[in-house]
Amino acid sequence: MSWFASLSVRGRTLLVGLVLTAALVAAGSTIQIPYVAIGPGLTVNTLGSYNDAAIFTFGGTDIPASVDEKTPEGSHLNMLTVSVTDGMTLFGALGLWASGNYSLVPREEQFPAGKTVEEVQQENAKSFEDSQSLSEIVALRYLKYPEVTYVGSIPEGSPSVNVLDPQDQIVALNDEPVSTVDTLRTALSTTLPGDIAKVTVKRTAADGKTSEVDAKVTLTANAQVGSYGFLGISAAQRPVAPFTIANSLATSGIGGPSAGMMFTLGIIDRLTPGDLASGHFIAGTGEIDESGKVGPIGGILLKMISARDAGATYFLAPADNCAEALTRVPAGLTVIRVTTVTDAMTALDEIKNGQPTTGC
């Protein structure tokens, strides 16, 4: 190292600085950091198509003629997503953060310890699938399609285990017609623990054929329901239609439940005459439950950026996200507060008629 000692103080300082800078650059551009970047993601018009396939397609009988109506140019009811960038280097993360459209969060917030990336993706895919099913239920219920009662969940130890199936549609109990959970409860009120109840169900086989089956269940006692017989099920009431609804995004790889509300609006639009968006570019987000309530989601600010960049002028936001949404509203975007699918439908009607909407 005699050559280093022979350098001037300035030369040695410069050399050390260059070496340290080179090491920092090498580390910053190659070593991955334990953070992910959350940013604007995909936005899809639920009135349109994805990969050349219509978002919603219908099969079966008695399909409303409105499903074949052409969507007017300019009409949008867009669902939104966020993107998650993993495996970033320090410099890559800083670059995304500096753009102002990404936030950095600890990796374990997106990929918890003890779960693989594949497991998280599977959970997100299941949430997305559930949102599609719920949106169909809510849309059909909003349009007042007839309701039927399914067996629903069957807990372990129930007298209905291995006798009924969760997807069985209950038609009658002891020959008393059943169409709702209330009528099922009324029919059970005439029974006693120990009775053998005849539960008539419509059951779909693996080949898709449906048949009517009389199942025999020995009723038990349950103090929580009273003195009458107990089936041991959590019956679920759902609307039904003579046709099926398929969603082309089912195999898109998108995850999470936040598209539920916009899927619901898209289905309602297709099943009713006219144009819900009335020629406007409307985007929105929100989880949906069976009652039609719109729940909060993550990444609201990023979704608003994505919506405005795509051309949206109106944004339907869950009421519980309003406080956060108002902290950074993109110029030209009107944010509308919704708590239920009925609120969303009211907002669409107000937009159509040029009336004031309910802001956050």
Per the prediction, the chain carries an average pLDDT of 88
- Kindly state the tokens that stand for 230: 């107990």
* 313-50-252-46 Cα dihedral, nearest 10 degrees: 40
Q: Cα torsion at 41, 45, 49, 55 (round to 10°)?
A: 100
Helix (H/G/I), strand (E/B), else coil: 186: helix
Judged against a pLDDT cut of 90, whether residue 190 lies above it is answered with yes
More confident residue, 37 or 334: 334
State the first-to-last Cα distance of the chain, in angstroms, to the nearest integer. 69
Q: Do residues 117 and 107 lie in contact, with contact meaning Cβ atoms separated by under 8 Å? A: no
- Position with higher pLDDT, 29 vs 90: 90
pLDDT given at position 12: 58
- pTM over cut 0.85: no
pLDDT digits (tens, 9 = 90+) for 316-351: 999 999 999 999 999 999 999 999 999 999 999 999
Could you tell me the two tokens for 72? 């007017």
Q: The tokens 């080179």 sit on which residue?
A: 22
Of all residues in the chain, the percent with pLDDT exceeding 70 is: 91
The mean per-residue pLDDT over the stretch 204-213 comes to 85
Q: How high is the pLDDT of residue 9?
A: 62
Cβ atoms of residues 280 and 75 within 8 Å:
yes
pLDDT in tens, 102-128: 787 788 877 787 778 788 778 888 888
On whether the CB atoms of residues 63 and 74 are closer than 8 A, the answer is no
197 pLDDT higher than 70: yes
Each residue of 39-78: pLDDT tens digit?
Answer: 788 899 999 999 889 999 999 999 999 999 999 999 999 9
Calpha distance 80→299 (Å, rounded): 10
Average pLDDT over residues 249-268: 91
* pLDDT score for 345: 98
Burial pattern 214-248, b for ≥16 Cβ within 10 A else e, equals: ebebebbeeeeeeebbbbbbebbbbbebeeebebb
CB atoms within 10 A of CB 106: 11
Q: Is the pLDDT of residue 306 over 90?
A: yes
**Nearest-10 crossing angle of helices 117-142, 260-271:** 40
